Amino acid sequence: MAKKSDISKTISRRSILKAGALGSVAMSAPMFYAKNAWAESAIGNYPIEGDTVMLGFNVPQTGAYADEGADELRAYKLAVTHLNNGGGMLDTFKPSKLTGSGILGKKVDYVVGDTQTKADAARTSARRMIERDKIIMLTGGSSSGIAIAQQYLASEMGIIFMAGLTHSNDTTGKDKRRYGFRHFFNAEMTGIALSPILAETYGKERRAFHLTADYSWGHTQYDAMKRGTEAQGWTTVNNLMTPVGAPDFSQYLTEVLSSDADILVLNHYGKDMVNSLSQAVEFGMRELQKNGKTMEIVVPLFSRLMAQGAGSSKIQGVLGTTNWNWSLQDEGSQAFVKAFEAEYGFPPSMAAHTCYCQTLLYANACEVAGTFYPPEVIKALEGFEFDGMGNGKTLYRAEDHQCFKDILVVKGKSPADKTGEFDLLELVGTTPRETVTYDASIFGGELGPYEPA
Amino acid sequence: MEYVVSILKKFPLTVFALVILTMPFWFPWIGGYGGLATKIMIWALFALGFDILLGFTGYLSFGHAIFFGVSAYATGLMFKHFSDEIIPAMIVAVIVGTLASVIIGYLTLKKSGIYFSILTLAFGEMLHSSALSTFGGFTGGENGLTLPDMIPSMLGIEMRGEVMFYMTAAVLILGYYIARRISDSPFGLILKAIKSNQERLEYTGIDVQKYKLGAFVISAIYASVAGSLMVVYEPYVGTEYLRWSTSGNLVLMSVMGGVGTLIGPIIGAAFMLYFENVLSVPLGEEWLLVLGLIFMAIVIFLPGGFTDGFKLIYKKLIGKKPDGEEK
């Protein structure tokens, strides 16, 4: 034993010297880190070499939001096809400089990454696409924490990030970045848009009990709903934070039953919402009489995928907001739905819609700027006003990179009313853009510089 | 072939350093890139330290993410509130990680086997959920601890790109050297004796508890350095650094590479990250399934992991085991 360690002692000393020499040789040689990223006028992966432009689609292929991710990816692929060959919303999107033959004469290509519905994994795969695959734009992300994590990385590396499905106020609030843009609406808008319709439907003398998913999005959603409904005269009885991915909500629902609340607000998304809503219905909450009124359930963020999960017998009459629904009759929506159905055989989700729009909006901003140089593209997006993408007139606000558009308030259809498997939501009303526009400074945060450090 | 192996055996550290320091040259050839190379170094260090505990003493900790995560948060908070210099941040982070390991080690090492694993897992989950709720104000909760526009530096040199890679590589080579010395030392021998028969060792009058705690703390220091480097590499701390899945990945890496061989977990870490970030791309959403199949195949056919596989190949080619002549 002693002999062995003596040997290793002499070897180690020598080998350390050798390692040192080797290190200095390696340092002086050209290597793959020596990209021009930090030289003057080169930002991120600009300038692009060759005649293809690479986009990076980072979506959850595994994990809790894998269903949304799969639909997002379908939309991205469709967007690339349309950018290269025309079709889809290219015919309805105005004002648009898109030609249907790539972006600025370059053919559009893409790479895909898996965020695994985890922030760290999302950053790692984003890094692969940025460093190895030389993407000029990064997009994707379901879940706000993951979108925010990628947005910071993209800003540091000088890559524009077009956020996908993220509804937390933080994304364009306290965590807003110069290189991050969001087309999707947010919790604040949900609160403003939904509350008046709730008061109109259920009356002003209501007592609400909230169940909230315990993370960034849930917190901002609860906060916005509380402020919105209280402004209408409602009372907030209580709020319980529930862990994300909880399989059973009965302990929380029992508390709701024993309180004097006559409204249950479910600040849940995805599977959580499907589970909590189903259990609340099984508890008989929708027939219950409290304070002389029928108890009602509200789901602030509604999506067709969730409605499908819960089933129309449970969601009938439940009110909520949504970013977009495939049944909209305007030109833009119809063009997108037609192209999507022709390709995949079923209608797109709202996640697919926002991702598709984001890709086109980025491409158009490059055409407007006449360059891929990120600061110019950012300037082209800031304050850009457009139409024909399914949400009416929409503005990309310069101060916080949030899109402002009319917000759709929807109601679950009853089994008798629905005409098909995917026909689950009925439009109750739209809250105009002016009403949901809030002051950009209320959440704090800084966009940061146009040129990354 | 025999010549190659004899070089490997005579100068393991040189060969190791050579492979790592030339990584920027050969890694792009197999689809790698700079950021991944650095991340592999960090995880390799984490797995290497873990092997001192699992490989030597046989204690399977399912809570090593605690030290990785706690130190990552400490580094992040130092960057945020103190300065972007990495030396004070890393020192504080390692001290915090070590303290945590002394406390948790003291409380958990009295149990062994599955009870130890479950206890460490419980501690990990406790810290993870408190980072999300109770300490959410410090940790940034679900959004993670973000550090906008900050570039960590060492004595004024910005830590990114190639500089960061060579710094991390140097730490890993040093870590590997120390681990080998520990393995060869009387201390290492006692740790290995704990694995083979703890009771008999106690009868010889050795305070086993002390040695176990020693191994636990050393491996936690490795984890703390790795956690701290992770934040230097990317100024962002995610809550999943504290999550059980981080500890679980570490166990997978060790088992895949070969427990108790020091080099095995390093190979395991490199393989896992390479698979997750490069090979997963052509496989699409099925990549986790393929990784699971590979893991199963290794556990069934190569219980000693990749290092066992190399030995088998060597035996096939030469006709004897690589350590055959040592006896």
Q: Which residue of A has its CA nearest to B39?
A: A124
* Residue of chain B whose Cα is closest to the Cα of A114: B285
- Please check the confidence at residue B147 and state whether its pLDDT lies above 80: yes
Please answer whether residues A350 and A127 qualify as being in contact, where contact means their C-beta atoms are separated by less than 8 angstroms. no
Give yes or no for B114 touching A (CB within 8 A). Answer: no
* Contact (CB<8Å) B24/A32: yes
Tell me which residues of chain A, numbers 234 to 253, contact chain B at a CB-CB cutoff of 8 Å: 241
Q: Are the beta carbons of A445 and A175 closer than 8 angstroms? A: yes
Q: Residue B209 has what pLDDT?
A: 92
**Is the minimum CB–CB distance between B326 and chain A shorter than 8 Å?**
no
Chain A residues in contact with B286 by the CB 8 A cut-off are none
- Domain A52-185+326-405, CATH number (from 3.90.1150.10, 3.40.50.2300, 3.50.30.30, 3.10.180.10): 3.40.50.2300
Residue B79, SS3 per DSSP: helix
Residue B109 has pLDDT above 80, yes or no: yes
**Euclidean distance between CA atoms A375 and A378, whole angstroms:** 5
* Beta carbons of A216 and B185 less than 8 Å apart: no
Distance from CA of A132 to the nearest CA of B (A): 6
DSSP 8-state class, residue B55:
I
Is B296 near chain A, with CB under 8 Å? no
Test A152 with B277 for CB contact under 8 angstroms.
Answer: no
Q: Using an 8 Å Cβ cutoff, are A365 and A384 in contact?
A: yes
Closest chain A residue to the Cα of B134, Cα to Cα: A214
Residue of A68, A95, A110 lying closest to A396 (CA atoms): A95
Q: Would you state the pLDDT for residue B92?
A: 96
Verify whether the Cβ–Cβ distance B21 to A19 is below 8 Å: yes
User: Which residues of chain B are within 8 Å of residue A149 when distances are taken between CB atoms?
Assistant: 143-144, 146, 236, 238
Query: A283: part of which helix (H) or strand (E)?
Result: none
Strands (E), chain B: 145-146, 153-154, 157-158, 236-237
Q: What percent of chain A has pLDDT over 70?
A: 91
For residue B108, pLDDT over 70 is answered with yes
For residues A64 and A247, give the distance between their C-alpha atoms in angstroms, rounded to a whole number.
13
Select the residue of A5, A120, A155 nearest B184 (Cβ to Cβ): A5
Instruction: Please name the residue ranges forming H helices in A158-270.
Output: 187-202, 216-231, 250-258
For chain A, 453 residues long, give each residue's pLDDT as a single digit of tens. Answer: 344 444 444 445 555 555 555 555 444 444 444 444 444 478 999 999 899 999 999 999 887 788 889 999 999 999 999 999 999 999 999 899 999 999 999 999 999 999 988 888 899 999 999 999 999 999 997 788 899 999 999 999 999 999 999 999 999 999 999 999 999 999 999 999 999 999 999 999 999 999 998 887 898 999 999 999 999 999 999 999 988 778 899 999 999 999 999 999 999 988 888 999 999 999 999 888 888 899 999 999 998 888 888 888 899 989 999 999 999 999 999 999 999 999 999 999 999 999 999 999 999 999 999 999 999 999 999 999 999 999 999 999 999 999 999 999 999 998 888 888 888 999 998 999 999 999 999 998 899 999 887
pLDDT value at position B227? 96
State the angle between helix axes of A119-131 and A144-157 in degrees (0 to 180), rounded to the nearest 10.
30
B284 in reach of chain A (CB within 8 A): yes
> Is B4 part of the contact surface with chain A (CB cutoff 8 Å)?
no
Nearest to A74 by CA among A63, A88, A86: A88
pLDDT in tens, B264-318: 999 999 999 999 989 888 888 888 899 999 999 999 998 889 988 888 888 888 7
Cα separation, A148 vs A152, in Å, equals 6
Q: How many CB atoms lie within 10 A of CB A288?
A: 16
- B67 burial (CB, 10 Å; 0-12 / 13-18 / 19+) is buried
**Contact of A142 with A351, CB cutoff 8 Å:** yes
Question: What's the DSSP call for residue B54?
Answer: I
Contact across the interface for A12 and B13, Cβ inside 8 Å: yes
Secondary structure element (H or E) that encloses residue A161, with its range: strand A160-165
Q: Where in chain A is the domain with CATH 3.40.50.2300?
A: 52-185+326-405, 188-322
Contacts of A26 (CB under 8 A, 6+ apart): B21, B22, B24, B25, B166
Work out whether the CA dihedral A436, A440, A446, A452 comes out positive or negative. Answer: positive
Strand B145-146, strand B236-237: pairing:
antiparallel
Round to whole Å and give the CA distance between A437 and B256.
54
Which of A34, A123, A216 has the CB atom closest to B234's CB atom?
A: A123
pLDDT in tens, B203-237: 998 899 999 999 999 999 999 999 999 999 989 99
| CA-closest candidate to residue A376, choices A175, A104, A167 | A104
Q: In Å, how far is B118's CA from the nearest CA of chain A?
A: 21
Overall average pLDDT of the B6-29 stretch: 88
**Residue A390 three-state SS:** coil
For residue B11, what is the nearest residue in chain A, using CA coordinates?
A: A11
Q: What is the pLDDT of residues B46-92, one digit of tens each?
A: 999 999 999 999 999 999 999 999 999 999 999 999 888 999 999 99
Cβ contact, residue pair A119, B17, below 8 Å = no
In this predicted structure, what is the pLDDT of residue B38? 94
Decide if B166 and A27 are in contact by the 8 Å CB cutoff.
Answer: yes
Task: Supply the pLDDT for residue A72.
Answer: 94
The DSSP element (H or E) to which A342 belongs, if any, is helix A331-344
Instruction: Please write the tens of the pLDDT for every residue from A7-50.
Output: 444 445 555 555 555 555 444 444 444 444 444 478 999 999 89
Task: Give me the residue from A18, A120, A241 closest to B238, CB to CB.
Answer: A120
**ipTM greater than cut 0.90:** no
pLDDT tens, residue by residue, B164-209: 999 999 999 999 999 999 999 999 999 999 998 888 998 998 899 9
| Mean pLDDT estimate for chain A | 88
Q: Do A124 and B35 touch (CB under 8 A)?
A: yes
Q: Are B169 and B260 in contact (CB under 8 A)?
A: no
Interface test with A, best of B142, B157, B280, B291 (most A CBs within 10 A): B142
Please write down the HEC assignment for all residues of B152-205: CEECCEECCHHHHHHHHHHHHHHHHHHHHHHHHCHHHHHHHHHHHHHHHHHHCC
Q: How confident is the model at residue B325 (pLDDT cuts 50, 70, 90)?
A: very low
Q: Determine the distance from the C-alpha atom of residue B249 to the mean position of all C-alpha atoms in its chain, rounded to a whole number.
A: 10
Alpha helices in A283-330, H assignment, sequence order:
304-310, 312-315
Q: How far is A145 from chain B (nearest CA, A)?
A: 4
CA distance B21 to A8: 21
Looking at residue B163, its pLDDT comes to: 92
For residue A251, the model assigns a pLDDT of 93
Q: Which positions 193-252 of B are in contact with A (Cβ < 8 Å)?
A: 234-236, 238-241, 245
On the CB side of A125, how many CA atoms lie within 13 Å of its CA? 31
Q: Assess A24–B contact: CB distance below 8 Å, yes or no.
A: no
Written as one string, the DSSP assignment of A63-123 is STTHHHHHHHHHHHHHHHHHHHH--GGGGT-BS----SS-BTTBEEEEEEEE-TT-HHHHH
Distance, in Å, from the CA atom of B229 to the CA atom of B129, rounded to the nearest integer, reads: 23
Beta strand A385-386 with A137-142: parallel, antiparallel or unpaired? unpaired
Coil, strand, or helix at residue B273? Answer: helix
Give dist(CA B172, CA B34) in Å, integer.
16
Class of domain A188-322: alpha beta
A175 touches chain B (CB under 8 A): yes
Instruction: Report the pLDDT value the prediction gives residue A18, as an integer from 0 to 100.
Output: 55
Shortest distance, CA B122 to any CA of chain A (angstroms)? 17
- Given an 8 Å threshold on Cβ–Cβ distance, is B18 in contact with A19? yes
A 37-96 → B contacts, CB under 8 A: 61-62, 66, 70
- A8, A113, A156 ranked by CB distance to B184: nearest: A8
Q: What angle do CA A32, A36, A38 make, to 5 degrees?
A: 115
Does the beta-carbon distance from B35 to A62 stay under 8 Å? no
- A chain contacts of residue B249, beta-carbon cutoff 8 Å: none
| pLDDT, tens digit, 9 for 90 and up, residues A366-397 | 999 999 999 999 999 999 999 999 999 999 99
**CB contact set of A231 (below 8 Å; sequence gap of 6+):** A195
The answer to whether residue B88 neighbours chain A at the CB level (below 8 Å) is: no
- Residues of B numbered 32-71 whose beta carbons fall under 8 angstroms of chain A's beta carbons: which are they? 32-36, 39
Q: How far apart (Å, rounded) are the C-alpha atoms in residues A442 and A123?
A: 28
Q: Nearest Cβ partner of B24 from A15, A33, A177? A: A33
Asked whether the predicted pLDDT for residue B321 surpasses 70, the reply is no
- CB of A124 less than 8 A from some CB of B: yes
Cα distance between residue A298 and residue A293, in whole Å: 15
Summary mean pLDDT of chain B: 90
If phi > 0 it is left, if psi is from -120 to 50 it is alpha, else beta; for residue B149 that is left
Tell me which residue in B36, B146, B245 faces A152 most closely, judged by beta carbons: B146
Domain ranges of chain B: 2-326
Alpha-carbon distance A23 to A18, whole Å?
Answer: 8
CA dihedral A323, A329, A333, A339 (to 10 degrees): 140
Residues B277, A111: C-beta atoms closer than 8 Å: no
Q: Identify the CATH assignment for B2-326 out of 1.10.10, 1.10.3470, 1.10.260, 2.60.220.
A: 1.10.3470
**B148·A446 Cβ contact <8 A:** yes
- Cβ contact B236–A453 (<8 Å): no
